[in-house]
Amino acid sequence: MDLVNASGRVLAEDVVALYDYPPFDRSEVDGYAVLSSDVAEADEERPVALRVVGSVGIGEVPRFSLGDGECAEVSTGSMVPRGADAVVPVEYTKRVGDVVYIYRPVAPGDNVAHAGSDVLAGDVLLTKGTVLGPVELALLASSGIARVKVYRRVRVGIVSVGDELVEPGRVLELGKVFDVNSYYLYSSVRELGAEPVLYGSIGDDEASLERVLRRALEECDVVITSGGTSAGVGDITYR
Amino acid sequence: MDLVNASGRVLAEDVVALYDYPPFDRSEVDGYAVLSSDVAEADEERPVALRVVGSVGIGEVPRFSLGDGECAEVSTGSMVPRGADAVVPVEYTKRVGDVVYIYRPVAPGDNVAHAGSDVLAGDVLLTKGTVLGPVELALLASSGIARVKVYRRVRVGIVSVGDELVEPGRVLELGKVFDVNSYYLYSSVRELGAEPVLYGSIGDDEASLERVLRRALEECDVVITSGGTSAGVGDITYR
């Protein structure tokens, strides 16, 4: 089933990651990708000057790698180019033409989300039986999964029993009451993510009740009856 | 809209009760409908004997009324016959043929739900803007209301923006990431009871973004965009 239609459903299989996440070494900030050893001595008083050799846009693959004294402009989500091991946030830099002054040191790995650091391809992302809400669908999407196997919704038959019951919308004769339970149960079952099936209200007559219950039990996974127990009708449910 | 389909929707009108609830004086217990003054002196030692003049089944209209020293068998939900003003629970009685011994007094109104004591015909049951859950649908059904006016679901357009975005199910090229936000938002919007509409992911290109946003704004009540702000694309959303 498509991801969008799987919202609210229950996973019928373990799902394994197709890709690492992040899928590449990814900058976590806007700034400059650097070799951390180049900027180890940088501070507010004595910034380190690096040459900007390129820029990596979001979704782009850098066609260069960094050498000593070089850096590259990156955005949040950009690939970090080869040769760099950290990113200096733009607020600790000052650009003058092709040169950037770095005012703070960074440690190796700073501001870089390494490929596969969240999820490795082949990891089990979600196990069978998981209810698929927004977070679960986002996780599946992040690994490129577009379709999943889900269980069909549980079908719940609803049968109200009683000679006194009248369907809403009809005229209420004296002594009768409207069937309330069917509607309460219908809405409750639906809120739980199952599929309610209304069988209406049945009089306190064993033969017709048995007929309806047999049909409901054939068509549904679960059947809820309400009322009718005063006439010993409950026995039929157990047959 | 039918009650069952209205589950989870928002009422677009005030709804007024069509009938009293309960619709008649209704016994709240299985027992004997009596005139309370007849049994005022009853106790465990000196039970009061009453003549059983009839029985009122669920959904039946009693064809008799009670005189002095008379009572009628009733069930939970039965109409209380004229002449009776209270019901003695069966556990405080002992039946011998057509006579019932009453072992406890009852006050006027005991164990009787009077017609209209919960709701009077003409009362406002639910006001415009109410979310219709199980309890609300049960209330409407109890007054015989089968159809209500509801607001249509709010349509929420979802647009993800970014050159780096790839639809799950496709091959992930280096530097790209799968579109996660669309699926997270889709499922969240649906959980809130609104109707999500996916417009997919759009590259960081002002012309195509403007085209998609114009269409989404025409077709939806609300449009949620995510990403794309780094290219000044946000401006288009406000146009």
pLDDT in tens, B124-174: 999 999 999 999 999 999 999 999 999 999 999 999 988 889 999 999 988
- Shared domain check, A78 and A101: yes
Which residue range forms the structural domain that includes residue A75? Answer: 26-113
- Shared domain check, B219 and B107: no
Is B147 among the domain residues?
A: no
Is B149 among the domain residues?
A: no
- State whether residue A2 sits within 8 Å of chain B by CB: no
- Shared domain check, A92 and A40: yes
Over the stretch B74-84, which tens digit does the pLDDT of each residue have? 998 899 999 99
Strand runs (DSSP E) across A132-193, as ranges?
A: 155-161, 165-166, 177-178
- State whether residue B168 sits within 8 Å of chain A by CB: yes
CA dist B232 → A57, A158, B229 (Å): 14, 55, 5
- Shared domain check, B199 and B129: no
Is B150 among the domain residues?
A: no
Is A150 among the domain residues?
A: no
Distance CA B145, CA B156 (A): 31
- Taking all residues of chain B, what is their mean pLDDT, rounded to a whole number? 91
What pLDDT is stored for residue A193 in this prediction? Answer: 86
For residue B193, pLDDT over 90 is answered with no
**CATH number of A134's domain:** 3.90.105.10
Is B223 among the domain residues?
A: yes
What pLDDT is stored for residue B229 in this prediction? Answer: 60
Is A147 among the domain residues?
A: no
Which helix (DSSP H) or strand (DSSP E) does residue A202 occupy? strand A195-202
**Under 8 Å between Cβ of A84 and A52:** no
Instruction: Determine whether the interchain pair B142/A177 forms a contact, defined as Cβ–Cβ distance below 8 Å.
Output: yes
Q: How many structural domains are present in chain A?
A: 3
Structure tokens at B26: 């209704």
| Least confident range of A66-80, B31-45, B224-238 | B224-238
- State whether residue A164 sits within 8 Å of chain B by CB: yes
In the block, which residue shows the tokens 């409908």?
A: B33
CB-based burial label for A107 (10 Å; 0-12, 13-18, 19+): exposed
Q: Interface pTM (ipTM) of the complex?
A: 0.79
- Shared domain check, B126 and B96: no
In the block, which residue shows the tokens 């005022």?
A: B40
- Shared domain check, B138 and B99: no
| Averaged pLDDT, B218-237 | 70
Is A148 among the domain residues?
A: no
**CATH number of A183's domain:** 3.40.980.10
Over the stretch B11-31, which tens digit does the pLDDT of each residue have? 999 999 999 999 999 999 999
| Least confident range of A103-117, B42-56, B216-230 | B216-230
What pLDDT is stored for residue A162 in this prediction? Answer: 85
- State whether residue B104 sits within 8 Å of chain A by CB: no
Question: C-alpha A105: how far from its chain's center?
Answer: 38
Instruction: Determine whether the interchain pair A180/B138 forms a contact, defined as Cβ–Cβ distance below 8 Å.
Output: yes
- Shared domain check, A67 and A16: no
- Shared domain check, B229 and B210: yes
- State whether residue A15 sits within 8 Å of chain B by CB: no
- Shared domain check, B15 and B130: yes
- Shared domain check, A74 and A11: no
- Shared domain check, A186 and A126: no
Facing residue for A7 by CB, picked from B133, B172, B186: B186
Residue of B179, B183, B224 for testing the chain A interface, max A β-carbons within 10 Å: B183
Per-residue pLDDT band for B234 (boundaries 50, 70, 90) equals very low
- Shared domain check, A215 and A108: no
What pLDDT is stored for residue A182 in this prediction? Answer: 95
**CATH number of B92's domain:** 2.170.190.11
Instruction: Determine whether the interchain pair A169/B163 forms a contact, defined as Cβ–Cβ distance below 8 Å.
Output: no
Chain B hits for A170, CB-CB cut-off 8 Å, are 144
Is B95 among the domain residues?
A: yes
pLDDT digits (tens), chain A, 239 positions? 999 899 989 999 999 999 999 999 999 999 999 999 999 999 999 999 999 999 998 888 999 999 999 999 999 889 999 999 999 999 999 999 999 999 999 999 999 999 999 999 999 999 999 999 999 999 999 999 999 999 999 999 999 988 889 999 999 988 899 999 999 999 999 988 899 999 999 887 888 888 999 999 999 999 999 876 654 434 454 54
Closest-CA residue of chain A to B23: A177
Distance CA A71, CA A51 (A): 6
Query: Which of B63, B93, B113 delimits the end of a domain?
Result: B113
